[in-house]
Amino acid sequence: MTITTTRFAPSPTGSLHVGNIRTALHNWLLAKKHGGRFLLRIDDTDAERSREEYVESIRADLAWLGIEPDGEERQSQRLALYEAVFSALQAAGRVYPCYETAQELDLKRKIQLGRGLPPIYDRAALALSAEERAEKEAQGIAPHWRFKLDHAEPIQWEDGVRGTQKFDPAQLSDPVIRRADGSWLYMLPSVIDDLDMGITDVLRGEDHVSNTAVQIQMFTAAIAAQYSAARTIPNFAHEALLVGSEGKLSKRLGSLGCDAFRERGIEPQALLALLARLGTSQPVEPIAERSELIETFDLSSFGRAPAKFDDADLDRLNAGIVHALDYETISTRLPDGMDEAGWLAIRPNLVRVGEAADWWKLVTGPIETPEFADEDRVFLVEAAKLMSWKEDPWHALADTLKQETGRKGKALFLPLRQALTGMDHGPDMAHLLPLIGEERARARLERAGKAG
């Protein structure tokens, strides 16, 4: 029985951004939906740009999100494997050396575009004789290496999001797989790793569709040259890319990472709830339970239209998540002195947990007492005299004042709220007043009655 195995393969050249996070999440959800494995592969073959602090940052961000890998691999520790497969492909005639400079290749592309032709590599290096190649290398020109595409048949696969995909390999450039200094580009090592790690499903952005066409031939060639026929090409799915709320690709999305979300007070559950269903036909809801996101994950619900990332949606989801957090879960993040009753009273007014401290000041004080009209000051002095501390002091006070003064509605409740909290809106006073306490509440009413 084949175990569904997915992977997330970031390069440690920077921190994760929201697009990376979405890719990681969807691969994790896909694996868990089928009881499979989710692997983290650190693509650190670019020694100059890779940094160990980014590796640690990637691990920490995934941990904060609750996306737990079932295993981890480092490409920098797999170089011998790449060398072995490369040698096998070389022997099979599927890779070849090229000697053009970057400037020469750029000129070729410009000429082709000027003639209305697709800017693909012309395979000039294949026409070089052994003597010509030796002459170039004697001149100190080290070759870069390309994978030779088979032009005989179209490349085709059934994409998990986009449906049937078909490419003419003759319309694609033979991809460069190895630089002149011997270092690897992304394409071939990724194929080798997917085969070696038993990856069954590759879910990534639609910007990789043409890469997939090329890599499918690499899979076939690598299996024939180095692996047994038991190895199979993974299933592929390419999801629409994220765009900003304005409907355009946004550089800002490339800089939005976990640090930015944490600084904004975004709960990881809210970010997961948004990204899990963004770009699908399923409703985006404040779902805190990862098990529900796993159960409802469905590639068939993914659309082809760009997925719009909107901060307003994230704030809405965050508020929904916060409103469902119980006191035990959140207690260590609350201001000193706030007990469960305080949390339950203030929670409905929060978008972020960090706002609890500001609302708690309504209880602990000091508050800024607003100025009142003369008739309201008289009313508040009366309220201080008539207040009696019962099981439900707020409604008891309101009922007594209604009978004694004839006030009702806004004229009754608004001056009381303003005098007791310094605000004209906020938590339910029936829950808040017992937290303020009788002595403090009476003092605030008396002070408000004297203010003028």
* Feature table: binding site for ATP: 251
- Which of 22, 27, 24 minimizes the C-alpha distance to 306? 22
Q: Looking at this protein, which amino acid is placed at residue 194?
A: D
Instruction: Identify the three-state secondary structure at position 435.
Output: helix
Question: Which residues define the annotated binding site?
Answer: 251
| Measured distance CA(38)–CA(392) in Å, rounded | 53
In sequence order, what are the residues at sequence separation of 6 or more whose Cβ sits closer than 8 angstroms to the Cβ of residue 441? Answer: 387, 393, 420, 433
Helix (H, G, I), strand (E, B) or coil at 158: strand
Q: Token pair for residue 261?
A: 């979300």
Cβ proximity of 318 and 350 under 8 Å:
no
Q: Which residues contact 404 (CB under 8 A, 6 or more apart)?
A: 382, 386
Q: Are 98 and 125 in contact (CB under 8 A)?
A: yes
Residue with tokens 């002459």: 135
Specify whether the backbone of 116 is left (phi greater than 0), alpha (psi in -120 to 50) or beta: left
Cα–Cα distance, 55 to 10 (Å, whole number)? 9
* Residues composing the chain: 452
Helix (H, G, I), strand (E, B) or coil at 352: coil
Nearest to 180 by CA among 131, 128, 122, 140: 140
Which residue, among 248, 242, 319, has the nearest Cα to 280 in the 3D structure? 242
Beta strands in 168-267 (DSSP E): 176-178, 201-205, 235-239, 242-244
